[in-house]
Structure 1
Amino acid sequence: MERSPNREGFEAVLRSPTVREAILYEKMPKGKVRCGLCERRCLISPGARGFCGTRMNLNGTLYTLVYGDLSALESRPIEIKPFFHYWPGSTALTYSTWSCNLDCVWCQNWTLSKVKPRPQTARYYAPERVVEAALKAGDEGLCSSFQEPTLLTDWNIQLFRKARTKGLYCCYVSNGYMTLEALRLLWDSGMDGLKIDVKGDMETYRRYCGGVDVEIVWRNAREAKRMGFHVEIVNLVVTGVNDDDECLRWVIERHLKEVGPETPLHFTRYYPAYRLNNPSTKVETIERAYEMAKEAGVAYPYIGNVPGHRYEHTYCPECGETLIKRFGYRVVRYRLTDDKRCPKCGYHVNLRGRYVKKPRILF
């Protein structure tokens, strides 16, 4: 646990509008608290923070330090998440806070996820302000992304409730390590899209992601589907880490078992970042993962971070017809019928929301 500043520092922290009493925690003996936001379930002593550094115990009360503390805010295409079967063609006002509850050595967004919050200098964003910004920008929804959105759940719940009254969709790009209690609160608040990054097998998580349990991630993916979330799974294929056939096959088999063949599965290309300098993943490796998934029965496998590749497109699982053609993060052709069927054979495609035709803007 990270020890916090002295009592004078505590008082300064409490004056920040981004500091609020946290949801999902339990008071324990000797002034300690048990956090129930993610499955680390940190036991936090008085004057200390949990693993993520965003929740602090002050005199036996747990506080979130990132309530409305945003590190980034911008409109982005939903395909960049990637969500390929959720409001295709739309844009989402995308935002983040600080830090993470995992410690992946290849983190692509480490400038945000490896920074602990500083409430004394934070700038507070009211939920109403973010909803207004999304509507003004012409976005169809909101997406909590860039770093782990679970850490912003206290604020996101309030944001999503307001957003849904204005017709905006709400989604997470997550590592999937939240508790079931947090997942249920998000569903009840109006969130219905969840993209989960599966890093690899048990050994991948143990060696490269801070020793957490991949079974929790699969449990949450399964339970999210059961609740009614639209779920898409992403596996970043990292050279020398999780790119062998055994690991790829394990991810594919678990995907089929836990979330089923109709759930999209994206294999994305790794580029060196943060503390890992392994070579970029070979395109041939990503293609092999795609073919393995297709042969195993995944209806909608995809390749990511390879702009212009033919495996960015959506093909009909029944007849092979091209249904949605993409280039990078843009939909360039959409051929599904109004009831989301293949125009050639009538196969119904698993897709949430509606197609949004946007001006051709390069992101």
Structure 2
Amino acid sequence: MSLDRRRLAWLAAGGTLAAATPGWLRAGGTPRPGELVEGSELPAREASWYKKLDGNKVECQLCPQGCKVADMERGTCGARENRGGTYYTLVHSLACSLHADPIEKKPFFHVLPGELALSFATAGCNVECKFCQNWEISQFRPEQVQSYWLPPESLVEMAKRSGSKLTAATYSEPVVFWEYVRDVATAAKAAGLRPTIVSNGFIQEQPLRDVLPLLDAVKVDLKAFTEDFYQEQVRGKLEPVLKTLEIIRGAGLWLEIVVLLVPTLNDSEDEVRRLSAWVKEHLGPEVPLHFTRFHPTYRLTNLPPTPVETLERAWRAATAEGLRFVYLGNVPGHAAESTHCPGCGEVVIRRMGFRILDNLLKDGHCPKCQRAIPGVWA
């Protein structure tokens, strides 16, 4: 997301962006909300999920990377630093991307259709997807990215001014700024907003369980259904992500899943069927599953966009496995963007890209057969 677009988003919400005061940290000051923070002078606060080790080392207990970090070094994400045996997050309240998006853009298709979500991110990520669409912020350290000081209360106030009913930690990876996610969610709840996140699901159990009660919905990007793909294309692991999905579902939180189908790498019908069968067995047939179209980017520019026929084949395979809400993404105008009642087949929400053309639900029920459609509708 460009700086100009961030400025417009901020100003449209009634905020201001100010140039940073040189040396404000050395002077013992605090940035003003909306103030540019750049260079090596990063505000830092102690991280919440780590263990102290001998020799001023620490072990990060936030994600399955399990980084053991020496003094004055950082973890894999580049956003956490060991200073004398105390581990710090360097990105709390440092938003580098900010925009009021339609909730459908996340995508959430069963959460407050047509409403805006004030979406925010910081620099950094705990994996490295070769196909990352936001690599300009996810694969850089916070001092390498223009960021603005936006404490949770200021972000929530901005959300209210922009007409957003939700907040969404997204764009890069919320796990990297988990303390910020927690504090924004707390402030959002207090203000009557709905906190959501868009995550890769690569997180340890305790921090996940600590924050889940504060959230209203989670969308997880399930990169593929093989460990080989995770190791070669993501620099992560599949098994912890599957566990995350089960924990979210078990907590009763609204969950949607997105699978980006990358030609030749994770788009075989066999893999789609196995993935879909796992979702049905472990999460239930009513969890929405989105198959989205890949476009060449970052380190995977040698592959073509996903053929629409491949997406449609995946849709048929997942539906045949018994999933009731299967969608196709990045193909504006396709019939599989819309929500159909699994009881009678009636279209209950008609979409075009991120726009809602018709929302025919009546208190969360199909208007034709009165079947309840699961989701967060009010």
| Counterpart secondary structure, 1:123 | strand
Supply the distance in 2 between the matched residues of 1:121 and 1:175 (Cα, whole angstroms): 23
2:230 maps to what in 1?
A: 205
Per mean C-alpha deviation after superposition, the further-off stretch among 103-112 and 154-163 is 154-163
| Counterpart secondary structure, 1:286 | helix
Alignment of 1:113-124 (within 5 A): 113-118=138-143, 122-124=147-149
1:223 maps to what in 2?
A: 247
Q: Go from structure 1 to structure 2 and tell me whether the alpha carbon gap of 1:121 and 1:325 turns closer, same or farther (over 3 Å shift).
A: closer
1:322-349: CA deviation from partner (whole Å, max 9, x where unpaired): 11000100111011111x1111112111
Deviation at 1:66, TM superposition (A): 0.3
Supply the distance in 2 between the matched residues of 1:119 and 1:229 (Cα, whole angstroms): 35
Deviation at 1:228, TM superposition (A): 2.0
Alignment of 1:101-250 (within 5 A): 101-118=126-143, 122-188=147-213, 190-201=214-225, 202-210=227-235, 212-250=236-274
Letter in structure 2 aligned against 1:139: S
Supply the distance in 2 between the matched residues of 1:310 and 1:121 (Cα, whole angstroms): 39
1:331 maps to what in 2?
A: 356
- 1:273 matches 2:297: yes
2:322 maps to what in 1?
A: 297
Supply the distance in 2 between the matched residues of 1:167 and 1:119 (Cα, whole angstroms): 34
1:233-260: CA deviation from partner (whole Å, max 9, x where unpaired): 0000001211111221222122112211
Alignment of 1:18-37 (within 5 A): 18-37=43-62
Supply the distance in 2 between the matched residues of 1:187 and 1:132 (Cα, whole angstroms): 22
Supply the distance in 1 between the matched residues of 2:189 and 2:321 (Cα, whole angstroms): 38
| Counterpart secondary structure, 2:149 | coil
Deviation at 1:225, TM superposition (A): 1.1
Supply the distance in 1 between the matched residues of 2:326 and 2:104 (Cα, whole angstroms): 14
Supply the distance in 2 between the matched residues of 1:228 and 1:182 (Cα, whole angstroms): 17
TM-score for the superposition, normalised by structure 1: 0.90
Letter in structure 2 aligned against 1:25: Y
Letter in structure 2 aligned against 1:251: L
Letter in structure 2 aligned against 1:265: L
1:3 maps to what in 2?
A: none
Letter in structure 1 aligned against 2:240: I
1:52 maps to what in 2?
A: 77
Letter in structure 1 aligned against 2:179: D
Deviation at 1:353, TM superposition (A): 3.4
Q: Is the 8 A contact 1:262 1:298 kept in 2?
A: yes
Q: Which runs of 5+ in 2 are unaligned?
A: 1-24, 30-40
Q: Is the 8 A contact 2:131 2:298 kept in 1?
A: yes
1:255 maps to what in 2?
A: 279
Match for 2:104 among 79, 87, 101?
79
Supply the distance in 2 between the matched residues of 1:251 and 1:284 (Cα, whole angstroms): 19
Deviation at 1:187, TM superposition (A): 2.0
Supply the distance in 2 between the matched residues of 1:120 and 1:273 (Cα, whole angstroms): 19
Supply the distance in 2 between the matched residues of 1:121 and 1:350 (Cα, whole angstroms): 40
1:312 maps to what in 2?
A: 337
TM-score for the superposition, normalised by structure 2: 0.87
Deviation at 1:121, TM superposition (A): 7.4
1:83-132: CA deviation from partner (whole Å, max 9, x where unpaired): 00111111100010011111110101111111111199753211111111
Letter in structure 2 aligned against 1:48: E
Q: Which runs of 5+ in 1 are unaligned?
A: 1-10, 355-363
Letter in structure 2 aligned against 1:233: I
Match for 2:376 among 339, 349, 352?
352
Moved over 6 A (4+): none
Per mean C-alpha deviation after superposition, the further-off stretch among 142-151 and 121-130 is 121-130
Q: Is the 8 A contact 1:321 1:344 kept in 2?
A: yes
Alignment of 1:59-98 (within 5 A): 59-98=84-123
Q: Is the 8 A contact 1:192 1:228 kept in 2?
A: no
Supply the distance in 1 between the matched residues of 2:288 and 2:161 (Cα, whole angstroms): 31
| Counterpart secondary structure, 1:92 | strand
Letter in structure 2 aligned against 1:292: A
Q: Is the 8 A contact 1:17 1:124 kept in 2?
A: no
Supply the distance in 1 between the matched residues of 2:146 and 2:257 (Cα, whole angstroms): 36
